[in-house]
């Protein structure tokens, strides 16, 4: 677990492994076509640029969170 936001904590390898296991369970069981939170009661949801939806490398579909860090014209 080398997530930048967690590097500030002096967590043991065991604690990091437990968190990684939890995240992998979420990735495996939470399908993208279901709602996991109630819709907002006011305001409106933002939209995402479809180009920001990325696919993880083969074999890393669970427990891996690809992060877009740049863009370029093609």
Q: What is the pLDDT of residues 8-60, one digit of tens each?
A: 888 999 998 898 889 888 888 888 788 888 888 999 888 878 877 778 888 88
DSSP the chain: ---GGGTTS---HHHHHHHHHHHHHHHHH--TTS--SPPPSSS------GGG---PPTT-SSS-----------
- pLDDT for 42 equals 92
- pLDDT for 64 equals 75
User: Is residue 2 very low, low, confident or very high in pLDDT (cuts 50, 70, 90)?
Assistant: low
- pLDDT for 33 equals 84
pTM of the model: 0.56
């Amino acid at each position: 677990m080398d997530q930048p936001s967690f590097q500030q904590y002096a967590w043991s390898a065991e604690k990091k492994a437990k968190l990684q296991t939890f995240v992998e369970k979420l990735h495996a069981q939470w399908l993208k076509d279901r709602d996991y939170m109630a819709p907002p009661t006011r305001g409106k949801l933002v939209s995402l640029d479809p180009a920001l939806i990325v696919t993880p490398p083969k074999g890393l579909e669970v427990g891996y969170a690809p992060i877009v860090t740049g863009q370029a014209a093609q």
